[in-house]
Amino acid sequence: MDLHVRYEGDDDPTKCSARKLARFDLAALHRSARATPTGIVLNPFAEQALAPGDANPPDGDGFDALVALDCSWETAEREAFDLRGRHRALPFLVAANPVNYGTPFQLNTVEAFAGALCILGDREHAEAILSKFRWGHTFLELNEEPLRRYADCTNSEEVVAVQQEYLDAGEGA
């Protein structure tokens, strides 16, 4: 699956995982929504969770691109995700990057791509993109169980049910 980034450029370029992916030709950066290809859009505001079936949906309207918006969490707004494609939210995952380590749902771009790739059944691709980051393997280690469980689901409702187990467990901690 090709990786595409709608790049805002509003965070620290030395810490930008999308720029690093582009330097290694592992993702394409796009400066405008119109230039960004249609695909599965990783959108934290989406009403439906990403599920394994999104890679090859029964309606035959599959996409061969994953699209992420790279912007600062402080400026991320619903309107910024106005991109063409099938919008899906990632379920509960914990960040391993040095800026947001241990924080649920605060993934950087490479973590979002890696989580999505694992859920969609392409862990090898996820490992390849994470290998460019010193802490990349940590993301997979921290999220080993949830990623495996999400990948075993058949639809978004099952993914949300698994996610709820993690959220309920966190409330008791």
Cα separation, 65 vs 40, whole angstroms: 6
Is 17 annotated in some ligand binding site? yes
Q: How many CB atoms lie under 10 A from the CB of residue 155?
A: 14
Pairing of strands 39-42, 85-88: parallel
Is 69 annotated in some ligand binding site? yes
Is 109 annotated in some ligand binding site? yes
Is 90 annotated in some ligand binding site? yes
163 by Cβ neighbours in 10 Å (0-12 / 13-18 / 19+) ranks as buried
Which residues are annotated binding-site positions for S-adenosyl-L-methionine?
17, 69, 90, 109
Which residues are annotated binding-site positions?
17, 69, 90, 109
